[in-house]
Amino acid sequence: MESSNPVLARALRHGEHYLTGERMSVSGTVNKTGLLLAIASATAAYPWSLLTEARMAELNTIMWGGMIGGLILAFATIFKPTWAFWSAPAYAACQGLALGSISAVMNQAYPGIAFEALAGTFGTLAVMLTLYRTGVIKATKSFRAGVLAATGGVAVIYLVSIAFQWFGISMSFMTGSGITGIVFSLAVVCIAALNLVLDFDLIDRGSREGAPKHMEWYGAFGLMITMVWLYVEMLRLLSKLRGRS
């Protein structure tokens, strides 16, 4: 079982789905994904109340706390999928704090951008799910390999960008609001959207091949990671488009 999303692929690749007992189901994974999104939404509301000049330092602390906490929980869940029952909701809460902080600041600079990015994320989710369910897009071996390569390429570019920033070098083609920056962000949004197809397919196959019940939480966690990535990239793209106006 392969996916460009290593979070989902790892646990379903090493024989963990050939177990007895309660089995993973698509509906169960959908329900748990909805719960994770609800948790993230609830915690994201708190940073908005701190969006005042006097409390910006506190907002920044919450953002970094959420990001670091989410990263630690993500790695813990990846290496121990059976922990997903508690670690996935905790991850969603941390991501809500981080994304709520980022969104609040971005929305102050560009009013309405947070709602636009959220609408774009769920709209893309609905479109990709429809394309997958109707068979317009199929997660073939070559499709998976292509998305994996593209995702890896984006990861390398981001890592190089972070390294350059340590030396005060800015990769303007990524961060700028010019045509190149917008095209780059649009390409990354498309790659993130294609990852959703692979996640849908992997969850489908996990259900068909008898993955254990705890993999519903793990599958929801993996899908949440892709949606968080997609939302952040939507914010980047929209901010660049707003910056040109």
Query: In sequence order, what DSSP letters do the residues of the chain get, joined into one string?
Result: ---S-HHHHHHHHTTTTS-SSSB--HHHHHHHHHHHHHHHHHHHHHHHTT-SGGGHHHHHHHHHHHHHHHHHHHHHHHH-GGGHHHHHHHHHHHHHHHHHHHHHHHHHHSTTHHHHHHHHHHHHHHHHHHHHHTTSS---HHHHHHHHHHHHHHHHHHHHHHHHHHTT---HHHH-SSHHHHHHHHHHHHHHHHHHHHHHHHHHHHHHTT-BTTHHHHHHHHHHHHHHHHHHHHHHHHHHHHHH-
Predicted confidence band at 2 (pLDDT cuts at 50, 70, 90)?
A: very low
Domain holding 90, by residue range, is: 6-244
Predicted pLDDT at 245 = 61
19 pLDDT above the threshold of 70: no
In a domain, 131, yes or no: yes
Q: Is the pLDDT of residue 6 over 70?
A: no
Three-state secondary structure call for residue 168: coil
How many angstroms separate the CA atoms of 170 and 178, rounded? 14
Percent of the chain with pLDDT over 90: 53
What is the structure's pLDDT at 18? 47
Q: Is residue 232 situated within a structural domain?
A: yes
Instruction: Give the tens place of pLDDT for each residue, 29-68.
Output: 999 999 999 999 999 999 888 776 657 778 889 999 999 9
The pLDDT confidence band at residue 139, using thresholds 50, 70 and 90, is confident
Q: How do residues 73-132 score in pLDDT, each as one tens digit?
A: 999 998 888 899 999 999 999 999 999 999 998 998 899 999 999 999 999 999 999 999
Number of structural domains, the chain? 1
Confirm whether 94 is domain-assigned. Answer: yes
Q: What is the pLDDT of residues 47-57, one digit of tens each?
A: 888 776 657 77
Q: Is residue 1 part of a domain?
A: no
Q: What is the pTM (predicted TM-score) of this model?
A: 0.86
Q: What's the pLDDT tens digit per position in 216-236? A: 999 999 999 999 999 999 999
